[in-house]
Structure 1
């Protein structure tokens, strides 16, 4: 039985500015780095065997901080990237509402049906994430596997593992450095934790 520890990257400059990130890059803030260190200490009690990370800048920063604490090499996998938001990348929500009001309404109400210009859709995102998980389950046995990824990607992955429709995208929350734990048992995936940020308590 493999157990996956799925975490979102630390806070970034664009998170603070409210900009849509996607494949665009934004560095971790000092707060993001400190919170990632707290997450790494929490993860150290789980005996992580492997670290896989998205190859985008903010997840590379996050996984490198965790790697230095856990003393495990990071393996980068582009299938763990955030959704490509196309023309929306670098824009704030207000800018998106003003420039793409019709598409934004669909994105908020029927996200699985939204066709953002030059962007990836949720179905494609789901397919590449499940491809990654299936590959890792074939490659490893009885391992604790850390995945460092992104908010939208993690929500889509969790919905997919639950067999839930992608229309439920906004029913799951993912904070920066949130921890999710999924066990793959004989009868399928079981979600043990969602959006655990207890390592940040007291801030």
Structure 2
């Protein structure tokens, strides 16, 4: 990031809105999707356009996005509405599912029983062959959020990301273990907003989707 860092004497107050990308074929067909290059479906494009129109009302000052196609594509619609270019940030990327990329979710237990057994007992440390653990995803995402809070004090910014990274941010703010990620249901095209302050963190809303109902 090429932003001028703020003085350490300034209080850290970051308002961060998180946009989960729009629908892809993998979401529609219940395929394991992490790092694969998959574009938005027609529904995903409409979700992104509607989210962008809502975000344009929020007076955000910067847009960051995961470097994957589905998130850069989603972010491009926000850029069209706001005129703010999106900056790709590696820390916002989704979990790498390794060898499991692209298989049907209902095949995971058949093809990768050892991994699924570990996932059932401790999902944060379960590692798919050749991939990331969810705990690693949550850690790198939170590190990115803390970095953004230093560069964007007293600002409202947008991050376009994925399911596991957004859940990881919420787990950190709520002060709960990554294994409790399922407490947070994050819909495609939804908006989640949090506040990061020097002495406290708070969740403003989770998976807000009213903008998707507008025709």
TM-score, with normalisation over the residues of structure 2?
A: 0.90
Alignment check: 8 A CA contact 1:81 1:153 kept: yes
1:74 alignment partner in structure 2: 86
- What are the ranges of 5 or more consecutive residues in structure 2 without an aligned counterpart? 1-12
CA shift for structure 1 position 185:
2.5
1:52 alignment partner in structure 2: 64
1:114 alignment partner in structure 2: 126
CA shift for structure 1 position 202:
6.0
CA distance in 2, matches of 1:23, 1:155: 17
CA shift for structure 1 position 62:
0.2
In the alignment, which of 16, 24, 40 is matched to residue 28 of structure 1? Answer: 40
CA shift for structure 1 position 109:
4.3
CA shift for structure 1 position 184:
1.5
- What are the ranges of 5 or more consecutive residues in structure 1 without an aligned counterpart? none
CA shift for structure 1 position 195:
0.8
In the alignment, which of 190, 195, 213 is matched to residue 178 of structure 1? Answer: 190
TM-score, with normalisation over the residues of structure 1?
A: 0.95
1:154 alignment partner in structure 2: 166
Once superposed, what is the RMSD of the aligned Cα atoms?
A: 1.4
CA distance in 1, matches of 2:78, 2:121: 36
CA shift for structure 1 position 133:
0.9
CA shift for structure 1 position 106:
2.9
Partner-residue secondary structure (3-state), 1:199: helix
Partner-residue secondary structure (3-state), 1:193: strand
Q: Looking at secondary structure, tell me which structure has more helix per residue.
A: 1
2:3 alignment partner in structure 1: none
CA distance in 2, matches of 1:64, 1:108: 37
The number of residue pairs the alignment matches comes to 203
CA distance in 2, matches of 1:165, 1:32: 31
Alignment check: 8 A CA contact 1:111 1:169 kept: no
* Segments of 4+ moved more than 4 angstroms: none
CA shift for structure 1 position 188:
1.9
